[in-house]
A and B are shown apart, each in its own frame.
Chain A
Amino acid sequence: MTIKNRKLHINNISLTITAVLFVALFTFGSVSYDQFFSLSTFLNLFNDNAYLIIASVGVTFVLLTGGIDISIASTIAFTCVFSAYLLRLGVAEYIVIPLVLLIGILLGLGMGYMIQEYKLQPFIVTLAGQFFMRGLCSVISTQSIPITNEFYKHVALNKIKLGSGKIYYYVFIALIIIFAAVYLLKYTRFGRCIYAIGGNEQSANLMGLPVRRTKITVYAISSFCAALAGVVFSFYTLAGYSLQNIGLELDAISSAVIGGTLLTGGVGSVLGTTVGVLIQGIIQTIVTYQNLNTWWTKVAIAALLCIFIVIQRMISSRTEKGKR
């Protein structure tokens, strides 16, 4: 029975290509550079990109419905700055963390409500969300605020040794989010409704699915994940700065696309998105090994993106032709 389910996954051609690409890049790195091939290199991909994985998984929910959320980078920055600010005031971490996560959820619910009830473009509404959160960061502080809270330091610096490599504690948050998202999308009615909306919203409505509730909820999930990514990012950097992570929302979206998510909705998976993030991470690593300017990462990702959207287009037009 598990074999059958696995077959369903592999049906997604883009995901297969993505996985193959990851292995190819890893092999390329291992052949080209000494010390590249190690467990440590692999685990560091997770250590360095845990926050991006969380944010990308969140935005995947929105992309699957055919929407878009470009507010997530600002939400991450806001979460970092606001957490750092509150912690400096001496507020306890067990209040700060739930509070910033709650703010994330409320922001997402607000944006989702506007998009759904007033039939607004997700792009514009989340652009407003982006400006709003980024603006609030600077209102709180334009300076970088260091975090000295003991709990944060503890989580930030402790890790598990695993052979030659290590995993930081906060990576497990990302892993939990991935598993929760996979389960939600595959085994709950809510998850299937997301795919149905992305496939054909009008049909989903006529089939009696709760379209309205689902569409609002995906934005709440996206913003919640962004806030959580913000918490993880503040573990990672132990500081909050209003200008950090500018443009990260596009990294998240491109990860999803490289992972096989269609921007028109209805097709994609969280595992694909995760591999998409890892591919970006490995390109970054290769660029570092090659001693190139880090902007070469962007160039490589741009090329990849172009290739992927063309492949997706070709696949979808082929199925269209196959119909009749």
Chain B
Amino acid sequence: MNTEPILIELLHITKKYSEAVVALNDVRFQLNRGEIHALLGENGAGKSTLIKVLTGVEKRNSGIISFEGKEINPRSPQEAQDIGISTVYQEVNLCPNLSVAENIYIGREPKKGGRIDWNAINNQAKKLMEKFDLDINVTKRLDSYSVAIQQMVAIARASDISAKVLILDEPTSSLSRLEVDKLFDTMRLLRSQGMGIIFVTHFLDQVYEVTDTITVLRNGEYVGTYATAQLSRVELVGKMIGKEYSQISDKLQPHVEAETEGKLFADLQEVTGLGTVRDMNMSICYGEVLGLSGLLGSGRSETARLIFGIDKIEKGDLEIKGERVSLKSTLDAIKAGIAFCPEDRKTDGIVGDLSVRENIILALQAKKGMLNRITRQEAEEIAEQYIKKLEIKTPTSEQLVKNLSGGNQQKVILARWLATNPELLILDEPTRGIDIGTKAEIQKIVTDLAKQGMAVIFISSEIDEMLRCCSRIAILRDYKKIAEIKGSAISEQTIMRYIAGGEIDEKDY
């Protein structure tokens, strides 16, 4: 047996989707035998691209991948699997309609006399499941078991195929605490057998609970590799968002003065969403920018989706202007005076093949009802008005939106919602991936809107931006609100401290 301690080594990995879009830039990564290695980073850091390059789903532009000292070039997940690298994805990638046993052995079934030996499949599967301490009926359909068990079955299959490298891509997102414990036991068991495990997650608690080593990526670049025991939470968060905790002062104060409390627009009382946000209390007032801060997966976007009626509120009350409402659809929310610019403007926001004008009047048309015609002249007036107001750089209002830059597309979406005259505007990562100039413009528009009396919810991963725009910030972690700070209490350090959570060394303040 090969006793080389290094299982996988990736060096100088670069992946460009186009000249402008660089997903990975000179990234390295090393996985040892018998190690659980966390791969961390915020959205767009390049974690999933790195996994895809490693497992042959995406082709890299340059760089070397070696496995047990030999260079490899997997071109498909199947080839990676044959080499000894298996992946378990966030979404269980098994077949729900087949039995547990068959899911483990399909594609490599034991045969007897040319035909599939079902007895062997079921018996071997049963033994394998016992090894994982799972007492289940392996002849039952996979989808008769919980997602957690399905996840374990996927891991069992992966580890049975190749006992060398296991990649777990956010496997815990849909698991309960008990199920997570079970998964971690399994991971430790596999580690003790010498398997190397790459664990992608955004739950920091879990990173500290189960991993030995941490590699952080940020904006497609390699930040560093650290021993988990020697990296404090605050330092880790600093690396993920690109700020050294020791270097920041609390001098950077919010630019927006917390004005006298405006009138209450909406009030969330103990709001719980199905499998997302839990017991959220939050009030939103006219004339303020309320920031939602937290890491990816902390429940920021999920809260916005609940308020906008995309996801159903499972428990708790949502009051708008003092009245309890139940939003059954986004149209209800629009009619209640709420507007929402979603996180991913490419898929959820713009309609690329329509003109700037058509994109701007979309939401207004929905609000008015499909049968109430907006005349061409009215539409043009509205479009021109916002193109001027938001300084959208487009030759005419007839230009197709897909031909505009990212920043200007974002402004078009903003215009679309402003045209509905909302009382509450929710912005989810409105400045991601757009140039600094436009970014500043959008930030200014946001604060101006609040000054004119609009209620705004602002979601961003960049703390700088939050400080610049928000007069009040709610900090979320693991789908719960853990703190709310406002006015002079807002500082970069406080926010980071809350985001990181866990044990904080007191002398740091």
Which residues of A are at the interface with B, using a C-beta cutoff of 8 A? 1, 4-5, 7-8, 11, 183, 186-189, 192-193, 195-196, 198-200, 202-209, 266-267, 319-320, 322-324
B116 and A186: CB pair below 8 A? yes
Complex Cα gap A320–B115 (Å): 32
B115 and A209: CB pair below 8 A? no
B144 and A322: CB pair below 8 A? yes
Given contacts A206-B77, A206-B89, 16 further A-B contacts (CB under 8 A): A4-B119, A4-B139, A5-B118, A11-B140, A11-B141, A187-B115, A188-B116, A192-B98, A192-B106, A193-B106, A196-B106, A199-B98, A208-B81, A319-B141, A320-B143, A323-B147
Interface status of B405 (Cβ within 8 A of chain A): no
- Residues of B373-429 contacting chain A, CB below 8 A: none
Interface status of B97 (Cβ within 8 A of chain A): yes
Complex Cα gap A323–B95 (Å): 15
B107 and A200: CB pair below 8 A? no
Beyond A323-B146, A324-B147, whether A189 also contacts B109 by CB under 8 A is yes
Q: Mark B47-89, 1 if CB is under 8 A from A, else 0.
A: 0000000000000000000000000000001100100000101
The interface residues of chain B lying within 8 Å CB-to-CB of A7 are 139
Beyond A192-B109, A200-B96, whether A319 also contacts B143 by CB under 8 A is yes
Complex Cα gap A188–B115 (Å): 6
Q: Mark B144-157, 1 if CB is under 8 A from A, else 0.
A: 11110000000001
The interface residues of chain A lying within 8 Å CB-to-CB of B99 are 8
**20 pairs across A/B with beta carbons < 8 Å?**
A8-B99, A8-B139, A11-B141, A187-B116, A188-B116, A189-B106, A192-B98, A192-B109, A196-B98, A198-B97, A202-B93, A203-B95, A207-B94, A207-B95, A207-B157, A208-B77, A209-B107, A266-B97, A267-B97, A319-B141
**A314 smallest CB distance to B (angstroms):** 15
Most chain-B Cβ atoms within 10 A of its Cβ — which of A202, A322, A324?
Answer: A324
The interface residues of chain A lying within 8 Å CB-to-CB of B89 are 206
A183 and B115: CB pair below 8 A? yes
A200 and B109: CB pair below 8 A? no
Inter-chain CB contacts under 8 Å: number: 83
Which residues of B are at the interface with A, using a C-beta cutoff of 8 A? 77-78, 81, 87, 89, 92-99, 102, 106-107, 109, 115-116, 118-119, 122, 139-141, 143-147, 157
**A319 smallest CB distance to B (angstroms):** 6
Complex Cα gap A89–B498 (Å): 89
Contact pick for B144, options A4, A8, A200, A319, CB 8 Å: A319
**B344 smallest CB distance to A (angstroms):** 21
Nearest neighbor of A210 in chain B, beta-carbon distance: B107
Beyond A199-B98, A319-B144, A323-B143, whether A207 also contacts B106 by CB under 8 A is yes
Nearest neighbor of A187 in chain B, beta-carbon distance: B115
B93 and A189: CB pair below 8 A? no
Complex Cα gap A207–B89 (Å): 12
**B218 smallest CB distance to A (angstroms):** 28
A199 and B95: CB pair below 8 A? yes
Nearest neighbor of A64 in chain B, beta-carbon distance: B97
The interface residues of chain A lying within 8 Å CB-to-CB of B109 are 189, 192
Nearest neighbor of B102 in chain A, beta-carbon distance: A192
The interface residues of chain A lying within 8 Å CB-to-CB of B96 are 199-200, 266
The interface residues of chain B lying within 8 Å CB-to-CB of A199 are 95-98
B146 and A324: CB pair below 8 A? yes
**A213 smallest CB distance to B (angstroms):** 13
**A204 smallest CB distance to B (angstroms):** 7
The interface residues of chain B lying within 8 Å CB-to-CB of A193 are 106-107
The interface residues of chain B lying within 8 Å CB-to-CB of A11 are 140-141
Nearest neighbor of A316 in chain B, beta-carbon distance: B143
B93 and A195: CB pair below 8 A? no
Nearest neighbor of A268 in chain B, beta-carbon distance: B97
Nearest neighbor of A320 in chain B, beta-carbon distance: B143
The interface residues of chain B lying within 8 Å CB-to-CB of A8 are 99, 118, 139
Complex Cα gap A301–B89 (Å): 43
Contact pick for B94, options A203, A320, A322, CB 8 Å: A203
**A265 smallest CB distance to B (angstroms):** 8
Nearest neighbor of B145 in chain A, beta-carbon distance: A323
The interface residues of chain B lying within 8 Å CB-to-CB of A202 are 93
A1 and B93: CB pair below 8 A? no
Complex Cα gap A8–B99 (Å): 9
The interface residues of chain B lying within 8 Å CB-to-CB of A319 are 141, 143-144
**A321 smallest CB distance to B (angstroms):** 11
Nearest neighbor of B112 in chain A, beta-carbon distance: A187
**B409 smallest CB distance to A (angstroms):** 28
Complex Cα gap A323–B93 (Å): 16
**B135 smallest CB distance to A (angstroms):** 18
**A197 smallest CB distance to B (angstroms):** 8
Complex Cα gap A47–B160 (Å): 50
Complex Cα gap A319–B89 (Å): 22
Contact pick for A196, options B95, B116, B144, CB 8 Å: B95
Most chain-A Cβ atoms within 10 A of its Cβ — which of B78, B81, B102, B106?
Answer: B106
Complex Cα gap A320–B107 (Å): 26
Nearest neighbor of B96 in chain A, beta-carbon distance: A199
The interface residues of chain B lying within 8 Å CB-to-CB of A208 are 77-78, 81, 107
**A163 smallest CB distance to B (angstroms):** 35
Complex Cα gap A266–B97 (Å): 6
Complex Cα gap A1–B97 (Å): 22
The 10 A-B residue pairs with the shortest CB-CB distance, nearest first, are A199-B95, A266-B97, A208-B78, A187-B115, A199-B97, A203-B93, A196-B95, A206-B93, A187-B116, A200-B95
Contact pick for A207, options B93, B116, B122, B140, CB 8 Å: B93
**B478 smallest CB distance to A (angstroms):** 19
Complex Cα gap A241–B77 (Å): 51
Nearest neighbor of B57 in chain A, beta-carbon distance: A206
The interface residues of chain B lying within 8 Å CB-to-CB of A198 are 97
The interface residues of chain A lying within 8 Å CB-to-CB of B102 are 192
A209 and B106: CB pair below 8 A? yes
Contact pick for B97, options A195, A206, A322, CB 8 Å: A195
The interface residues of chain A lying within 8 Å CB-to-CB of B144 are 319, 322-323
**B349 smallest CB distance to A (angstroms):** 26
Beyond A207-B107, A323-B146, whether A1 also contacts B98 by CB under 8 A is no
Nearest neighbor of A192 in chain B, beta-carbon distance: B106
Nearest neighbor of A205 in chain B, beta-carbon distance: B77
A189 and B95: CB pair below 8 A? no
**B48 smallest CB distance to A (angstroms):** 14
The interface residues of chain A lying within 8 Å CB-to-CB of B116 are 186-189, 192
Most chain-B Cβ atoms within 10 A of its Cβ — which of A200, A207, A319, A323?
Answer: A207
Nearest neighbor of A203 in chain B, beta-carbon distance: B93
The interface residues of chain B lying within 8 Å CB-to-CB of A5 are 118
Complex Cα gap A207–B94 (Å): 8
**B318 smallest CB distance to A (angstroms):** 24
Nearest neighbor of B176 in chain A, beta-carbon distance: A324
Contact pick for B95, options A1, A4, A266, A322, CB 8 Å: A266
Nearest neighbor of B115 in chain A, beta-carbon distance: A187
**A187 smallest CB distance to B (angstroms):** 4
Nearest neighbor of B87 in chain A, beta-carbon distance: A206
The interface residues of chain A lying within 8 Å CB-to-CB of B92 are 203
Complex Cα gap A121–B119 (Å): 38
